[in-house]
Amino acid sequence: MAGQSPLPGAPTSYYNGTYKMTIKECIRIPSEIHSSGFSNYFRSGTIPSTLPLLELQMVVIFAITRFTHCILKPYGIPEFTSQLIAGIILGPSVLGNLGIFKALFSDRNQEIVGMIATFGHILFTFMSGVKMDAGVINRVGRKSLFAGIACIMFPLLVGFTVQVTLRRYWLTAEEATGLPFETALNCLTPFPVVVYLLESLKILNSELGQLGLSAALVSDMFGFFLLWLASMAKVSREKGMVGAAISVSSSITYVTVVVFAFRPAMFWVIRQTPEGRPVKRTHLQLILMLMLFSGLLSQWFHASFLFGPVILSLAVPDGPPLGSAIIRKFYYFNQDVFLPLFVTTCAMRTDLRLIKFNDSFMTFNVLLIFFTFSAKMIGCMVTLLYTKMPLNDALALALILSSKGEIHLALNTQFRDTEPQAVQTGPALTLSNIAILLNAVIAPVMVKYLYDPSRKYAGYQKRNIMHNKRNAELRILVCIHKPENIVAAIKLLESSCPTRERPLGIYVLHLIELIGRSSPIFISHEMKKKTLSKTSAYSENVISAFNNFKKNNRAGVATYCFTAITPTKFMHEDICTLALDKLASLIVLPFHRKWSVDGSIQSEDSSVRTLNNSVLDIAPCSVGILVDRGGHSTSSKVIASKSHFSVAMIFVGGNDDREALTFAKRMANDNNITLTVVHFVTSDSEDITLWDKLLDNEVLKDVKMNNVGQEYVIYLEERVRDGPQTAMIVRSMVDEYDLIIVGRRDKSNSTQTSGLAEWNEFPELGILGDLLASSDFNSKTSVLVIQQQKKKT
């Protein structure tokens, strides 16, 4: 029985320079699934069983992909590029010529892995639509709108001009068959490709990233509409006007059903899901079945098999609970298993031996790719420069919008499989894949070189507590992850003694992990935008708690609440941007470890620790990490009556300690607070510069003279020989205070802490902060570790 596969990785046609040939082979039906024994493979020379064959193919693909990615990852090149290179390595250009790999990845043997890979591509496209917030279109600015339109329309005009002008001299009518598709493919800016690149470069939350997302969404809408028109034009050629009319009416009917039936059904699912509870598995399984059926349905009315899943995905409300549940259920397995198989099997079609630059067809295709890419870059840059964007940023954004990825690879492979009349299929496919590979390698490296999102935080202005004017408002940005962070943060702010003479400006940022969306959201609750009102429920308890705090301190506190819904690995961008915009002097971050009331460790969140380290590295002001040891009430309500509160500040010396002492001095104005400053001194002064010694004495002078605030400040001097003696004294004083404040003193060597650095578990807390937060201490004393604003070079 003869058979041939239209799946990715299994070409049905070959071009030998003169004739197009279709190869047929005899196969056994039904095929064997399970192995009859490993030794039989050596006797037969083949792997007849489909399951071991699939497993071996997956092992080889993943091994080469991971090895390639380990080499390229340090250069900032995304994993997609590694998968693409792995496919070329396994193709006929390299390993595909060897006997074992030729047998393992023969056209016939790729059918099953190709089918699984195609399913992964459909699922990827569906989830990309689920994460897409179509409502962003209503909020797109002028810059994004013009850039999005320019990056698809300008290269289209240039590409079709090149076709009309040159093809009559260079190509035959048969060779020019696939040129309109080739031009359209090079002009597309798929939204999922841009999101993937921005996430890989870790600039999704940056100003450039947000602009790129908006522009890509505009361009993708145009591109999707053009692809639909192209598919309808193809139906018109093959089926006539009647067939085209049926396809168009079927597409419109399907969209109408999705909008007026499926979309309300999705909201019904959300209403049926209790707040805080997961979506029922039955609902998720039903949506997955609808996705598969929609692909089959769209092929029935001669549209692309992706048309149905894409339209259905846009009907799913992004974000929690439904969109997040779908992404959480399928995203990571598809991203790490199915999608690499798809990219690799598509790239295995690439045969570098077919590239012949002395051939007019190949030369014309190279020129077409070059002109369309150049037009795309120029169109984007001219538009962005017209809106007064800096040259480097405009060039970086143009590269982002000109990037190529999985969608381009999929469309390219699908076109070559479904257009038997297009000649030179192999060379054209190979050339397109090489162009995608070069773009996927060069674009990320260039963007990383041109755009550094942290440079805007390089503040040359003093934004710290020490340089805040004595009676000026002290602006503090407080970050909240979970409800248990609220009480500890408010207790710290209460202890800061806000008064009319020394007011506090509190900027509260509620950080929520982004799941089920592509576009991050940043909400100012003071502006009360109606378009984002549905997200205010996430921060209701945070807003209520800090509003109560404001009411209890009317004279000295102003509060402003914000919510950032964003991936955890990009949260530091939102934190530092808000601190920069609001001219904050201090950022307060919760520690990643949570203690229970009895003093035992309850939970840890490594992503929060990574976030804290990222903020410490690039913050435009001073940073404080608040370690709450469970000594406060877990209630989110603000206690109106202030109880007695004892605070200790451990002073060793240096910028961070001076900053911490300056903050501690504010607490001496409250008669409910007792402040004790413990100064560790040593007879060895070689590790202290004269200038540092003068600055330390200056900041300690009013403490020694008890001229800090209205209340009495206790000043103690402890002479120590080395770190172990310091640790012994710290241990003895832990249970005497409610809060201990220390400076981080990162990478600072001193006699007082010598010998302690090698036991440092959490470097972000410094040596003393790490000692106080140690699990060896069964204490309820909270700790505040302060790092002064870093000097930027």
DSSP states of 108-131 as a string?
Answer: GGGHHHHHHHHHHHHHHHHHHHHH
pLDDT at 594: 82
pLDDT at 604: 83
| Core vs surface per residue 485-510: b (16+ CB within 10 A) or e | bbbbbbbbbbbbbbbeebbbbbbbbb
User: Would the pLDDT of 18 be above 50?
Assistant: no
- Give a three-class secondary structure readout of 413-480: HHHHHHCCCCCCHHHHHHHHHHHHHHHHHHHHHHHHHHCCHHHHHCCCCCCCCCCCCCCCCEEEEEEE
pLDDT at 462: 74
Q: Give the containing element (helix H, strand E) for 89.
A: helix 79-90
Helices 179-187 and 425-450, axial angle in degrees (round to 10): 10
pLDDT at 46: 55
Average pLDDT over residues 563-583: 87
pLDDT at 238: 67
Rank 181-190, 351-360, 423-432 by mean pLDDT and report only the highest: 181-190
The dihedrals phi and psi of 421, each to the nearest 5 degrees, come to: -80, -15
pLDDT at 641: 45
Average pLDDT over residues 589-604: 79
How far is CA 212 from its chain centroid?
A: 14
Helices 339-347 and 406-418, axial angle in degrees (round to 10): 50
What global pTM score does this model have? 0.76
pLDDT at 45: 47
Residue 172, beta-bridge partner list: none
Average pLDDT over residues 182-209: 84
Average pLDDT over residues 556-568: 87
> Of 139, 117, 163, which is closest to residue 9 (Cα–Cα)?
117
pLDDT at 21: 55
Considering only residues 457 and 288, tell me which one the structure prediction assigns the higher pLDDT. Answer: 288
> Of 562, 94, 576, which is closest to residue 347 (Cα–Cα)?
94
Contact criterion met (CB below 8 Å) for 542 and 595 = no
pLDDT at 386: 87
Task: Please return the burial class of 266, using the count of CB atoms within 10 Å of its CB with bins 0-12, 13-18 and 19+.
Answer: middle
Question: Nearest-5° angle of CA 216, CA 219, CA 223?
Answer: 130
Query: pLDDT grade, residue 636 (50/70/90)?
Result: very low
Structure tokens at 540: 């209701």
Query: pLDDT grade, residue 554 (50/70/90)?
Result: confident
Q: Give the containing element (helix H, strand E) for 156.
A: helix 142-170
pLDDT at 528: 53
pLDDT at 424: 56
User: Would the pLDDT of 686 be above 60?
Assistant: no
Q: Give the containing element (helix H, strand E) for 573.
A: helix 571-581
pLDDT at 643: 65
pLDDT at 623: 93
Structure tokens at 32: 């064997």
| Segment 99-152, tens digit of pLDDT | 777 777 777 777 788 888 888 888 888 888 887 776 666 666 777 888 888 888
Domains of the chain: residue spans and CATH: 52-451 (1.20.1530.20), 465-526+537-633+642-787 (3.40.50.12370)
> Of 58, 55, 57, 79, which is closest to residue 68 (Cα–Cα)?
79
> Residue for token digits 């200790």?
648
User: Would the pLDDT of 482 be above 80?
Assistant: yes
Considering only residues 538 and 385, tell me which one the structure prediction assigns the higher pLDDT. Answer: 385
Structure tokens at 175: 């060779």
Average pLDDT over residues 343-370: 83
Q: Give the containing element (helix H, strand E) for 182.
A: helix 179-187
User: Would the pLDDT of 535 be above 60?
Assistant: no
Contact criterion met (CB below 8 Å) for 539 and 521 = no
CA distance 265 to 287: 11
- The helix/strand/coil state of 642 is coil
User: Would the pLDDT of 252 be above 50?
Assistant: yes
Average pLDDT for the chain: 80
Lowest-pLDDT range of 420-434, 510-524, 623-637, 708-722:
623-637
Query: pLDDT grade, residue 792 (50/70/90)?
Result: low
CA distance 340 to 369: 26
Considering only residues 696 and 417, tell me which one the structure prediction assigns the higher pLDDT. Answer: 696
pLDDT at 139: 63
pLDDT at 42: 45
User: Would the pLDDT of 687 be above 70?
Assistant: no
Would you tell me how many other CB atoms lie within 10 Å of the CB of residue 362?
Answer: 18
- The helix/strand/coil state of 639 is coil
Lowest-pLDDT range of 201-215, 289-303, 305-319, 535-549:
535-549
Contact criterion met (CB below 8 Å) for 593 and 749 = no
CA distance 59 to 52: 10
Considering only residues 39 and 584, tell me which one the structure prediction assigns the higher pLDDT. Answer: 584
| Segment 59-71, tens digit of pLDDT | 889 999 999 989 9
Helices (H) and strands (E) in the chain, counts: 26, 17
> Of 172, 213, 190, which is closest to residue 80 (Cα–Cα)?
190
User: Would the pLDDT of 638 be above 50?
Assistant: no
Query: pLDDT grade, residue 613 (50/70/90)?
Result: very high
> Of 288, 433, 268, 269, which is closest to residue 349 (Cα–Cα)?
433
Q: Give the ranges where 258-359 is alpha helix by DSSP (H).
A: 263-272, 281-300, 307-314, 322-333, 339-347
Average pLDDT over residues 453-478: 77
| Segment 648-670, tens digit of pLDDT | 999 988 888 899 998 988 888 77
Query: pLDDT grade, residue 625 (50/70/90)?
Result: very high
Would you tell me how many other CB atoms lie within 10 Å of the CB of residue 366?
Answer: 15
Count Cα atoms within 13 angstroms, Cβ side, for 385.
Answer: 11
